[in-house]
Structure 1
Protein backbone atom coordinates (compact mmCIF):
# COMPACT_ATOMS: atom_id res chain seq x y z
CA UNK A 1 0.00 0.00 0.00
CA UNK A 2 2.77 2.47 0.94
CA UNK A 3 4.66 1.69 -2.25
CA UNK A 4 1.56 1.99 -4.43
CA UNK A 5 0.30 5.22 -2.87
CA UNK A 6 3.52 7.02 -1.91
CA UNK A 7 6.29 5.26 -3.81
CA UNK A 8 7.99 4.18 -0.58
CA UNK A 9 9.30 0.63 -0.23
CA UNK A 10 10.14 -1.17 3.03
CA UNK A 11 13.84 -0.90 3.80
CA UNK A 12 15.63 -3.62 5.74
CA UNK A 13 18.16 -1.44 7.53
CA UNK A 14 19.51 -3.75 10.21
CA UNK A 15 21.58 -6.80 9.41
CA UNK A 16 21.24 -7.93 13.02
CA UNK A 17 17.41 -7.63 12.87
CA UNK A 18 16.36 -8.80 9.41
CA UNK A 19 12.74 -9.24 10.52
CA UNK A 20 12.29 -5.44 10.75
CA UNK A 21 11.69 -3.00 7.93
CA UNK A 22 11.23 0.75 8.02
CA UNK A 23 9.13 2.68 5.56
CA UNK A 24 10.43 6.21 5.08
CA UNK A 25 9.16 9.20 3.17
CA UNK A 26 11.35 9.43 0.11
CA UNK A 27 11.41 13.27 0.30
CA UNK A 28 12.87 13.59 3.81
CA UNK A 29 13.80 10.02 4.84
CA UNK A 30 11.65 10.25 7.99
CA UNK A 31 10.07 7.02 9.15
CA UNK A 32 6.31 6.63 9.16
CA UNK A 33 6.01 2.87 9.60
CA UNK A 34 8.09 0.13 11.16
CA UNK A 35 7.14 -3.46 10.33
CA UNK A 36 8.39 -6.58 12.06
CA UNK A 37 7.84 -9.71 14.05
CA UNK A 38 8.20 -10.00 17.82
CA UNK A 39 7.36 -12.37 20.64
CA UNK A 40 4.00 -11.57 22.19
CA UNK A 41 5.61 -11.10 25.60
CA UNK A 42 7.79 -8.27 24.24
CA UNK A 43 4.70 -6.15 23.53
CA UNK A 44 2.91 -6.95 26.78
CA UNK A 45 0.80 -9.88 25.59
CA UNK A 46 0.72 -13.35 27.10
CA UNK A 47 2.67 -16.05 25.34
CA UNK A 48 5.88 -16.42 23.44
CA UNK A 49 4.45 -16.90 19.96
CA UNK A 50 5.83 -14.68 17.22
CA UNK A 51 3.40 -12.06 15.90
CA UNK A 52 3.54 -9.47 13.13
CA UNK A 53 3.28 -5.83 14.16
CA UNK A 54 3.40 -2.38 12.62
CA UNK A 55 4.31 0.89 14.34
CA UNK A 56 2.72 4.13 13.19
CA UNK A 57 3.41 7.75 14.06
CA UNK A 58 0.37 9.35 15.71
CA UNK A 59 -0.86 12.59 17.24
CA UNK A 60 -0.07 12.07 20.94
CA UNK A 61 -3.52 13.22 22.14
CA UNK A 62 -5.11 10.34 20.15
CA UNK A 63 -3.09 7.64 21.93
CA UNK A 64 -5.38 7.04 24.95
CA UNK A 65 -8.39 6.32 22.72
CA UNK A 66 -6.40 4.07 20.39
CA UNK A 67 -5.07 2.00 23.29
CA UNK A 68 -8.65 1.22 24.37
CA UNK A 69 -9.24 -0.62 21.09
CA UNK A 70 -8.32 -4.26 20.53
CA UNK A 71 -5.14 -4.78 18.52
CA UNK A 72 -3.52 -1.50 19.61
CA UNK A 73 -0.56 -1.49 22.00
CA UNK A 74 1.98 0.98 23.35
CA UNK A 75 4.70 1.41 20.75
CA UNK A 76 7.28 -1.35 20.58
CA UNK A 77 10.80 0.04 20.55
CA UNK A 78 9.64 3.57 19.64
CA UNK A 79 8.54 6.71 21.49
CA UNK A 80 5.45 5.61 23.38
CA UNK A 81 3.90 9.09 23.22
CA UNK A 82 3.97 9.63 19.47
CA UNK A 83 3.90 6.07 18.10
CA UNK A 84 1.50 3.14 18.45
CA UNK A 85 1.91 -0.57 17.68
CA UNK A 86 -0.81 -2.45 15.82
CA UNK A 87 -0.95 -6.25 15.87
CA UNK A 88 -1.34 -7.49 12.29
CA UNK A 89 -3.56 -10.48 13.00
CA UNK A 90 -6.82 -9.21 11.50
CA UNK A 91 -8.08 -7.64 14.74
CA UNK A 92 -7.61 -4.16 13.28
CA UNK A 93 -9.31 -3.96 9.87
CA UNK A 94 -7.12 -3.25 6.85
CA UNK A 95 -9.08 -0.06 6.10
CA UNK A 96 -8.15 1.25 9.56
CA UNK A 97 -4.50 0.25 9.08
CA UNK A 98 -4.41 2.16 5.78
CA UNK A 99 -5.82 5.26 7.53
CA UNK A 100 -3.14 4.94 10.22
CA UNK A 101 -0.45 4.68 7.58
CA UNK A 102 -1.82 7.71 5.72
CA UNK A 103 -1.91 9.79 8.89
CA UNK A 104 1.56 8.60 9.88
CA UNK A 105 2.83 9.63 6.44
CA UNK A 106 1.50 13.16 6.88
CA UNK A 107 3.12 13.41 10.33
CA UNK A 108 6.56 12.29 9.09
Structure 2
Protein backbone atom coordinates (compact mmCIF):
# COMPACT_ATOMS: atom_id res chain seq x y z
CA UNK A 1 0.00 0.00 0.00
CA UNK A 2 1.24 3.46 -0.85
CA UNK A 3 0.15 6.55 1.08
CA UNK A 4 -0.44 10.13 0.03
CA UNK A 5 2.47 11.14 2.29
CA UNK A 6 4.83 8.84 0.37
CA UNK A 7 3.63 10.38 -2.89
CA UNK A 8 4.11 13.91 -1.52
CA UNK A 9 7.66 13.02 -0.47
CA UNK A 10 8.41 11.48 -3.88
CA UNK A 11 7.14 14.45 -5.90
CA UNK A 12 8.93 16.94 -3.66
CA UNK A 13 12.24 15.09 -4.12
CA UNK A 14 11.82 14.45 -7.85
CA UNK A 15 9.86 17.43 -9.18
CA UNK A 16 10.18 20.04 -6.45
CA UNK A 17 6.41 20.30 -6.02
CA UNK A 18 4.26 20.30 -2.91
CA UNK A 19 0.52 19.67 -2.70
CA UNK A 20 -1.96 22.50 -2.63
CA UNK A 21 -5.57 22.27 -1.56
CA UNK A 22 -7.72 24.23 -4.04
CA UNK A 23 -11.21 23.12 -2.98
CA UNK A 24 -12.75 24.68 0.11
CA UNK A 25 -15.59 22.14 -0.02
CA UNK A 26 -13.07 19.25 -0.18
CA UNK A 27 -10.19 20.26 2.13
CA UNK A 28 -8.33 16.94 1.76
CA UNK A 29 -8.22 17.00 -2.06
CA UNK A 30 -4.55 17.67 -2.86
CA UNK A 31 -3.50 18.95 -6.28
CA UNK A 32 0.05 18.41 -7.54
CA UNK A 33 0.93 21.09 -10.05
CA UNK A 34 3.74 22.24 -12.25
CA UNK A 35 5.49 25.31 -10.88
CA UNK A 36 5.76 26.87 -14.34
CA UNK A 37 2.21 26.62 -15.66
CA UNK A 38 0.21 25.57 -12.57
CA UNK A 39 -1.36 22.68 -14.51
CA UNK A 40 -2.22 19.62 -12.46
CA UNK A 41 -0.31 16.46 -13.11
CA UNK A 42 -1.97 14.62 -10.23
CA UNK A 43 -4.87 14.96 -7.83
CA UNK A 44 -5.28 12.95 -4.63
CA UNK A 45 -8.82 12.69 -3.27
CA UNK A 46 -10.57 10.86 -0.49
CA UNK A 47 -13.85 9.44 -1.78
CA UNK A 48 -16.38 6.79 -0.87
CA UNK A 49 -15.77 3.54 -2.79
CA UNK A 50 -19.34 3.54 -4.14
CA UNK A 51 -18.50 6.70 -6.14
CA UNK A 52 -16.06 4.52 -8.08
CA UNK A 53 -18.33 1.50 -8.37
CA UNK A 54 -16.42 -0.34 -5.62
CA UNK A 55 -17.63 -2.03 -2.45
CA UNK A 56 -17.13 -0.50 0.97
CA UNK A 57 -18.34 2.38 3.08
CA UNK A 58 -15.07 3.88 4.36
CA UNK A 59 -13.40 6.69 2.38
CA UNK A 60 -10.39 5.69 0.31
CA UNK A 61 -7.57 7.76 -1.18
CA UNK A 62 -7.52 7.90 -4.97
CA UNK A 63 -4.78 9.30 -7.20
CA UNK A 64 -5.77 10.77 -10.58
CA UNK A 65 -3.07 10.81 -13.25
CA UNK A 66 -2.97 11.74 -16.91
CA UNK A 67 -2.27 8.78 -19.16
CA UNK A 68 -2.06 8.35 -22.94
CA UNK A 69 -5.33 6.92 -24.25
CA UNK A 70 -3.48 4.20 -26.13
CA UNK A 71 -2.37 2.60 -22.84
CA UNK A 72 -5.01 3.71 -20.33
CA UNK A 73 -7.48 1.00 -21.38
CA UNK A 74 -4.88 -1.72 -20.87
CA UNK A 75 -4.07 -0.40 -17.37
CA UNK A 76 -7.64 -0.24 -16.11
CA UNK A 77 -8.51 -3.41 -14.24
CA UNK A 78 -11.62 -2.44 -12.24
CA UNK A 79 -9.89 -3.11 -8.94
CA UNK A 80 -7.08 -0.65 -8.33
CA UNK A 81 -6.80 1.25 -11.63
CA UNK A 82 -10.03 2.79 -12.89
CA UNK A 83 -11.27 5.42 -15.31
CA UNK A 84 -10.42 8.90 -14.07
CA UNK A 85 -12.84 9.97 -11.37
CA UNK A 86 -14.28 13.40 -12.27
CA UNK A 87 -11.80 13.71 -15.16
CA UNK A 88 -11.69 12.99 -18.87
CA UNK A 89 -12.13 9.22 -18.89
CA UNK A 90 -10.02 8.76 -22.00
CA UNK A 91 -6.97 10.67 -20.78
CA UNK A 92 -7.00 10.16 -17.01
CA UNK A 93 -6.89 7.15 -14.71
CA UNK A 94 -7.62 6.80 -10.98
CA UNK A 95 -5.49 4.58 -8.77
CA UNK A 96 -6.87 3.33 -5.45
CA UNK A 97 -3.90 3.92 -3.16
CA UNK A 98 -4.58 1.23 -0.57
CA UNK A 99 -4.72 -1.34 -3.37
CA UNK A 100 -1.63 -0.18 -5.26
CA UNK A 101 1.82 -1.69 -4.87
CA UNK A 102 4.37 1.04 -4.07
CA UNK A 103 7.12 -1.05 -5.65
CA UNK A 104 5.11 -1.35 -8.84
CA UNK A 105 4.55 1.16 -11.59
CA UNK A 106 2.95 4.02 -9.64
CA UNK A 107 6.02 6.29 -9.68
CA UNK A 108 6.44 5.67 -13.41
CA UNK A 109 2.80 6.64 -13.94
CA UNK A 110 3.33 9.84 -11.90
CA UNK A 111 6.38 10.67 -14.02
CA UNK A 112 4.43 10.02 -17.22
CA UNK A 113 1.60 12.29 -16.04
CA UNK A 114 4.12 14.97 -15.07
CA UNK A 115 5.61 15.04 -18.56
CA UNK A 116 2.24 14.78 -20.34
CA UNK A 117 1.01 17.91 -18.58
CA UNK A 118 4.25 19.89 -18.75
CA UNK A 119 4.31 23.11 -20.74
CA UNK A 120 5.52 22.43 -24.25
Normalised by the length of structure 1, the TM-score is 0.93
What SS class does the counterpart of residue 5 from structure 1 fall into? helix
Deviations for 1:77-98, whole angstroms, at most 9, x for unmatched residues? 1111100000001x32224111
Aligned residues: 107
Task: Choose the corresponding residue for 1:97, options 96, 100, 106.
Answer: 106
User: Which residue of structure 1 aligns with residue 44 of structure 2?
Assistant: 35
Structure 2 residue ranges without an equivalent (≥5): 1-9
Between structures 1 and 2, the one with greater strand share? 1
C-alpha distance in 1 between matches for 2:30 and 2:109: 17
Is structure 2 residue 75 aligned with structure 1 residue 66? yes
What SS class does the counterpart of residue 60 from structure 2 fall into? strand
What SS class does the counterpart of residue 11 from structure 1 fall into? coil
Tell me, yes or no, if the aligned pair for 1:33 and 1:104 is still in contact at 8 Å. Answer: yes
